[in-house]
Amino acid sequence: MEILLIEHNLFEARLIKKMLVESRRGEYVVQYVQKLTDALPLLQTASFDAILVDAVLADSTGTVTARTLRQQCGSTPIIFLSASNNAEVGLDLLHLDIQDYLIKAELNSNLLSRSICYAIERKRNEAALRASEAKLSTIFQAMPVAVSIATLSEGKYIQINDEFARIFEFERGEAIGFSPLELGIWYPEAREKLVRALQQQGAVRNVEARLKSKSGRKIVGLLSMEEIVIADEKCVVTITRDITEQKEAETEIRNLNRRLTARARALKSANRDIESFNSMVAHDLRSPLSVVNSYCQAIKMQCGDKLETECREYLQEAYEGTLRMDQLIEALLTFSRVGNVKLQREEVDLSALAEQVYAELKFAEPERPVNFRSAEGLQCYGDTGLLRIVLENLLGNAWKWTRTREPAVISFAQRETGGTPTFLVRDNGLGFDMKHANELFVPFFRVPGAEAQKGFGIGLATVKRIVERHGGKVWGEAVPGSGATFYFTISRPAVIERTAGRGGGVHEDPDRRG
């Protein structure tokens, strides 16, 4: 061990060096100087494990020497050697971070060596303790919640962290020594609630309380409190989470939900009114149409052979107009209803529905040469009535747009798209320009050339509404003059997906068979 000995008496210096040599506690290398002014340059260039210093030097004494050495040598252990046993001086020196105060007359090799070893050990422990305290202080200050420590007896703060200062807008010097009530942080009712809970339970866990910052900003805090003991004094550590924004968001969500509920009720009422209006309008429109339709038929039957050809043509156009108007009214009613009707989900055999729709189309125009191909066993989970409307519109469109083809080819199949079963209706009809692909499903939009097909522009919009109500999507692809394909998906609820085992296979597109 490197020892610096500062001793004005040469004889006593030799005696101390001899004691260290005789000690068996370690090997010592002693560097000796007589004055404090001689020691200070050494302390700037060399480090020592311990310093032994006479309490009375030629150029310095007692506490002056202690302060000077402690400023110069940092954390190096210092042991004072004194010719007199002055307890008051010894106590003053210990308060100046001096590790020991020995009386020269009582010195021996073991005592001196033991004092040096103990001083070094204590200094190491102090350094470790300071490092640990520094870490704890860093953690304490860096915690993302407000943390404070107050005395239990008076409730006055003895420590706060940075987050506490930020939330409540108090500097550390402004808060230390004052209670939350004195600072205006707690409302009286909050203090009563927290103190009562602390007394009854010994701790507080996640209690919500109204608080206030220095500037008067209202804060909603979530507090947890625990009793601890610091230096034999009972204290309370309090952790406060600022949940003001969370509570404001919850309030806004509740208000939003109330508004949404009110709007939903209003919308439901409006939908009922619309349905009533639609039914009334349909009835009022259909009644005169029925009269006109009946008169046209009566005139044709009773006076048909008496009418000129041109008049008969006018009569036929009027008759067909009433039928077309009736179909338009029915299409509008269907479009209105599909958005409001409650879904009745079940396993649906789409292949069977497609065959039924095709049979109805063929019955209406039996003379048309149409090659209809449908894959077998295509199933999904949805509303049978609404899905029939989907197929009626898609197959009906294919039927209309293939009138100029001989033979017309229409197919219904299924394929996988990104792991999702996708149903498709394909035809070899006139097709359409893909620049209109996104407009096809807009109500009353009709692609160029649709006039000849006698459509209303509502069918695909109805399909889109039904498919989206089933959690799916619909789109179309085509090449002008080379046919069109319409695709749609029907989502299966997760619970059903795990339990249903039917209809899960991939069915071959009949148009792609070799």
Question: Got the DSSP string for 219-242?
Answer: EEEEEEEEEEEETTEEEEEEEEEE
The pLDDT value given to residue 496: 40
CATH code of the domain occupying 342-512: 3.30.565.10
**Would you give the end-to-end CA distance of the chain in angstroms?**
96
Q: Which residue has the higher pLDDT, 318 or 275?
A: 318
Instruction: Grade residue 454 by pLDDT with cuts at 50, 70 and 90.
Output: low
Fold classified for 143-242? Beta-Lactamase (3.30.450)
How many helices and strands in the chain, by DSSP H and E? 15, 17
Mean pLDDT value across the chain: 83
Instruction: Grade residue 449 by pLDDT with cuts at 50, 70 and 90.
Output: low
Do 221 and 213 meet the contact criterion of CB atoms below 8 Å apart? no
Instruction: Grade residue 511 by pLDDT with cuts at 50, 70 and 90.
Output: very low
Percentage of the chain modeled with pLDDT above 90: 27
The pLDDT value given to residue 512: 41
Poorest-confidence range of 22-26, 237-241, 295-299, 329-333? 22-26
Q: Which CATH number fits domain 250-336: 2.60.40, 1.10.287, 2.40.50, 1.10.3210?
A: 1.10.287
CA nearest neighbour of 100 among 450, 168, 91: 91
Could you state, in order of their start, the residue ranges of all structural domains in the chain? Answer: 2-132, 143-242, 250-336, 342-512
Residue whose tokens read 């002056």 = 64
Mean pLDDT across the stretch 274-293?
Answer: 73
| 162 pLDDT above the threshold of 80 | yes
As beta bridge partners, residue 474 has 488
Q: How far is CA 468 from CA 338, 474, 475, in A?
A: 11, 8, 12
Instruction: Grade residue 206 by pLDDT with cuts at 50, 70 and 90.
Output: confident
The pLDDT value given to residue 372: 95
* pLDDT tens, residue by residue, 7-21: 888 888 888 888 888
As beta bridge partners, residue 208 has 222
The pLDDT value given to residue 501: 40
The pLDDT value given to residue 76: 87
| 163 pLDDT above the threshold of 80 | yes
How many angstroms separate the CA atoms of 375 and 367, rounded?
24
The pLDDT value given to residue 296: 83
The pLDDT value given to residue 494: 53
* pLDDT tens, residue by residue, 332-365: 677 667 766 788 899 999 999 999 999 999 998 8
CA nearest neighbour of 80 among 71, 69, 58, 72: 69
| 135 pLDDT above the threshold of 90 | no
How many angstroms separate the CA atoms of 11 and 259, rounded?
97
The pLDDT value given to residue 446: 66
How many angstroms separate the CA atoms of 184 and 506, rounded?
71
Topology alike, domains 250-336 and 342-512: no
The pLDDT value given to residue 435: 85
The pLDDT value given to residue 498: 40
Instruction: Grade residue 513 by pLDDT with cuts at 50, 70 and 90.
Output: very low
- Please write down the long-range contacts of 458-463, taking CB distance under 8 Å and 24 or more positions apart: 458/331, 458/332, 458/334, 458/335, 459/331, 459/393, 459/396, 459/397, 460/393, 460/397, 460/486, 461/335, 462/331, 462/334, 462/335, 462/338, 462/389, 462/393, 463/389, 463/390, 463/393, 463/394, 463/488
* pLDDT tens, residue by residue, 227-253: 888 888 888 899 999 999 999 999 999
As beta bridge partners, residue 160 has 148
The pLDDT value given to residue 445: 67
Enter the DSSP assignment of 364: H
| 473 pLDDT above the threshold of 50 | yes
| 447 pLDDT above the threshold of 70 | no
The pLDDT value given to residue 488: 94
Mean pLDDT across the stretch 123-130?
Answer: 80
Q: Which CATH number fits domain 2-132: 3.40.1170.20, 3.40.50.2300, 3.30.420.40, 3.40.50.300?
A: 3.40.50.2300
Instruction: Grade residue 110 by pLDDT with cuts at 50, 70 and 90.
Output: confident
| 187 pLDDT above the threshold of 80 | yes
| 270 pLDDT above the threshold of 80 | no
* pLDDT tens, residue by residue, 371-426: 999 999 999 999 998 899 899 989 998 999 898 888 899 999 999 877 788 999 99
How many angstroms separate the CA atoms of 205 and 146, rounded?
15
Residue whose tokens read 């879904």 = 343
Mean pLDDT across the stretch 42-59?
Answer: 87
The secondary structure of 240-289 as a DSSP string is EEE-HHHHHHHHHHHHHHHHHHHHHHHHHHHHHHHHHHHHHHHHHHHHHH
Poorest-confidence range of 83-92, 179-188, 274-283? 274-283
| 495 pLDDT above the threshold of 90 | no
The pLDDT value given to residue 24: 60
